[in-house]
Amino acid sequence: MRLKIYQITLLIVSILWFCPAFAEDEESEEDIIYETAYYPISPDIVTNVKGKAKYIRTKIQIMTDRADMLWEIEEHDPLYRHVLLMILADKKGEDIKSPAGKESLRKEFLKALSDALDEKASKKGLIKDLFFTTYYVK
């Protein structure tokens, strides 16, 4: 009798141990590999702006600390272009030409892109920073 109870207990434990139905669906903090990666928005953003300075040309890189999720950032490239172009449509060239204006625009882009991606992506907070690698207002 004891042998049967032992065998049944061993069978139940092994089923529970190896059964994928009981595995965690969400990745634990230990499973996440934080590695920095960059996604270049390509081609360059080129659009008209208001005022005397008539257009902007900029190349932008999005930074994430989740290199394993870079595919999800890449997937939404049309969304980024749309968001950036809508923001730039209301900007005056003179305002974004100065270093302070450039930094203000960078922060606005970062917040807008983060918010837009958080609405669409399966993981939140993928975008950690944003950098201009080319910036020309004429």
Give the pTM. 0.78
pLDDT beyond 90 at 46:
yes
Residue 39 lies in a domain: yes
Long-range contacts of residues 73-77, Cβ cutoff 8 Å, at least 24 apart:
73/39, 73/117, 73/121, 73/126, 73/127, 74/39, 76/116, 76/117, 76/120, 76/121, 77/41, 77/42
Does residue 19 have a pLDDT over 70?
A: no
Structural domain boundaries enclosing 84: 32-137
| Domain CATH for 54 | 3.30.479.30
> In this model, does residue 32 exceed pLDDT 90?
no
Name the burial class of residue 107, with classes exposed (0-12), middle (13-18) and buried (19+) by CB atoms within 10 angstroms of its CB: exposed
22, part of any domain: no
In a domain, 4, yes or no: no
Per-residue pLDDT tens over the stretch 111-129? 999 999 999 998 999 999 9
pLDDT at position 31 over 80? no
Question: Would 19 be classed as within a structural domain?
Answer: no
Note whether residue 10 is domain-resident. no
Is residue 20 predicted with pLDDT exceeding 90?
no
